[in-house]
Chains A and B, each alone.
Chain A
Amino acid sequence: MEVVVTGAGVVVERGAETHLRGALGLDADGSVPLGHLPEVVRGRASRAERVTQLLLAAGGRALATAGFDAAAAAETRAGIVVGTAFGCFLTNAAYQRRVAAGGQPAASPRLFAATVSNAAAGELAIAYRLGGPAVTLTAGGASGLTALGEAMEAIRAGRADVVVAAGVDATGDALAEWLAATGGAYGAPPAEAGAAVVLERTGRRGPEVCRLAGHASAFEPIAAACADAGVAPAEIALVVSAAPPPLASLEARALAAVLGERRRRLLIPKRVFGETFGAAGILGVLAAGAEAGRGDPVLVLDVCPTGHVAALVASVPEAR
């Protein structure tokens, strides 16, 4: 069953927003743009930690473009699936540094409450009164596309009528130190982003941004995603590549094995957006949607040095 994207919202590093129509860039002072959010949401967002701000900025934009507003009645059939590689890593570091220095008396209840990676999804649920399933997951650098796939399943299985699917990660000193300690296997320079889409069943309400046909999350997901989509690998017109440099040849071989040797147009969004971790997969879908011919199936990949890989087949509808 196809699932339709009816809204999208993206926040990327300042300057990178020019590469995707409708995207927002970080403000000049580095803060997350919140001015587009309804007043009631903006108030909560301004007090929140950064991952939550990125999710609210992207998710709020996606909901608005799909025609939802924060003042609407509570939606118990509206759910959330968020993918994040590092989640609350930076909050954990801020919280733990205080505990290490001052012991229990220095522990901050406010920070501790946000040391769960699902804090951002909880804030989005509260802000827009979304009472359906609220799921956060991590699959390393493939978290975003994995979350998008699970959001498709929630729609297919009838667990929700509407799902906000998002990928998000923030960067900061503690994460940069950790990436350095692990040898920088991710490749492209770390960058912040939040990317969100609103999913609905075909023909439910909002305008169609693109259609999601099939997905898979595994070490070898390409063939499975095509099969799930009912798309022959030969039909794939455009491929979004995502492998960090150490895995690039592996990705190329996997693509050749499934798609054949004929060269496809290749899109590498990380070249302009940087390594946005959890946000990369959904940024890839939206970037592909902007580039693909109408009706052409596109294959989007999300690849992490841990071995987490996700693949998704989407298309832009022929007539909007």
Chain B
Amino acid sequence: MITGCGVVSPLGGGLRPFWEGLLAARSAVQPITGFPADDLDPHAAAEVRDVTSSDDDRAGAFALEATAQALADAGLEPAALDARRLGVALGTTLGGARLFERWLDGEAVGDPERIPYYAPAVRVARRLACRGPVVTPQLACASGTQAIALAADWVRNGRADVVLAGGADLLCRFVVAGFNCLRATADRARPFDVARRGLVLGEGAAVVVVEDAEHAARRHARVRGRVLGTGAAADATHMTAPDREGRGAARAMQAALADAGLDPAAVGFVSAHGTGTPYNDAMEAVAIARVFGPRGVPVNSIKGAIGHTLGAAGAFEAVLCLQVLAERIVPPTVGLAAVDPACAALDLVYGEPRPVAVDATLSTSSGFAGVNAALVLGRP
């Protein structure tokens, strides 16, 4: 069961600005102001602007804030939980990267222990005095999706009653220069559009509370949704380019559906990875059509609105799916005006939000080194 969620997004702090911004087709992409970026080309991104914090561990601060929101949303007080049955699964691709930049430059940083990738999860675990499993999935841009899958496994296997699961990532020169040098970026993200040129980076954190059904029932918790199935698969073809045929992504989606015991026809909405790069979106069109049939299911991407939040992306998209299940409406794909003929096999939601009949959703994520992960969520 998912009994709570918390969001620190470029559309604003909290679930409501995130969801309302998506429905209103707002884009948070602007020129970068959080660090010197004028020499970076392009230098537009979706920054988190309204979390005022002197905390120099930005991803950790996002994660703590999203965790606090998720616990409050779930009506959980960490001190009242059995600490041995409380876990943390938090994906990230950059973690303490801004601290790392300064530390490598010879500057003193407050706490160098906040640099490694495991640091945000350890920080959250310490804040909660958690004594259950604590893991940082490292699946590049599929990390957030895999974190929720891992949490669901722990709960199913009886290893934990409550797991805080999601992802957190941040913008910094390290990553903007990196995607720019791959020529994978643009000033605007236009997922699935014929004029798309590349992705735009974003930052933030999204965290959900994955809770054992009996534990949730005992405390009469409101249930936001259920994790029905999870799946992962490797392309095993290329380190940075996706498999053109989308075989790995399709296998991950099929594995998640099989895990859920669902036919593709039972899924009423697909949240695509939809980065806005020419290759990714064309690959996904093939993969999604392979699993769901041509124009078989409504699809959107939120990366035109909040950018590509890397290790947090899959967690944001899980929260999106929970909202679609609750409100039965799909936000439009920001940045999409004219569908690329190569993506014509997708029933893309763009222009206006679209009401849908939906009992189950699927979110798909892919990343560097050929990772793919998928998550099927259902109504309570």
Binding site for B on A (CB under 8 A): 74, 76, 79-80, 84-87, 89, 92-93, 95-97, 99-100, 103-104, 107-109, 112-119, 121-123, 125-126, 129-140, 146, 150, 153, 157, 159, 174, 178, 181-182, 216-220, 224, 306-308
Contacts and interface: CB of A to CB of B under 8 A. Distances in A.
A92 B116 contact: no
A257 to B, nearest CB: 13
29 contacts: A87-B138, A89-B116, A92-B100, A92-B174, A99-B177, A100-B105, A113-B182, A117-B138, A118-B369, A122-B368, A125-B236, A125-B370, A126-B370, A132-B233, A133-B231, A134-B234, A136-B137, A139-B134, A139-B135, A153-B157, A157-B153, A159-B255, A159-B259, A178-B112, A178-B115, A182-B113, A217-B159, A307-B125, A308-B122
A122 B146 CA distance: 16
Contact of B93 (A79, A80, A93, A116): A116
Contact of A116 (B113, B122, B135, B140): B140
A140 B116 contact: yes
B139 A136 contact: yes
Given A76-B251, A99-B173, A122 B138 contact: no
B104 A122 contact: no
A86 B104 contact: no
B138 A116 contact: yes
Given A116-B138, A139-B118, A126 B236 contact: yes
Nearest to A133: B232
Given A74-B236, A89-B116, A115-B178, A218 B84 contact: yes
A155 to B, nearest CB: 13
Interface of B: 39-41, 84, 87, 93, 97, 100-101, 103-105, 112-113, 115-118, 122, 125-126, 130-140, 146, 150, 153, 157, 159, 173-174, 177-182, 231-240, 247-248, 251, 255, 259, 367-371
A118 B181 contact: no
Contact of B174 (A89, A96, A216): A96
A113 B122 contact: no
Contacts of B370: 122, 125-126, 134
Contacts of A307: 122, 125-126, 134
B88 to A, nearest CB: 10
Nearest to A120: B369
Contact of B159 (A104, A112, A181, A216): A216
A267 B101 CA distance: 40
Contacts of B233: 76, 131-134
In the A-B complex, the 10 residue pairs with the smallest Cβ-Cβ separation, listed nearest first, are A122-B369, A134-B234, A112-B178, A133-B232, A107-B181, A219-B131, A117-B138, A125-B234, A136-B138, A125-B236
B174 to A, nearest CB: 6
A121 B143 CA distance: 14
Nearest to A48: B239
A306 B182 contact: no
Given A84-B138, A137-B138, A126 B237 contact: yes
B123 to A, nearest CB: 10
A132 B259 CA distance: 14
Nearest to B137: A137
Contacts of A100: 101, 104-105
A86 B39 CA distance: 30
Contacts of B240: 113
B36 to A, nearest CB: 10
A281 to B, nearest CB: 13
B234 A131 contact: yes
Contacts of B150: 137, 150
Contacts of A139: 118, 134-136
A236 B187 CA distance: 60
B233 to A, nearest CB: 6
Contacts of B122: 140, 306-308
Contact of A122 (B41, B93, B174, B234): B234
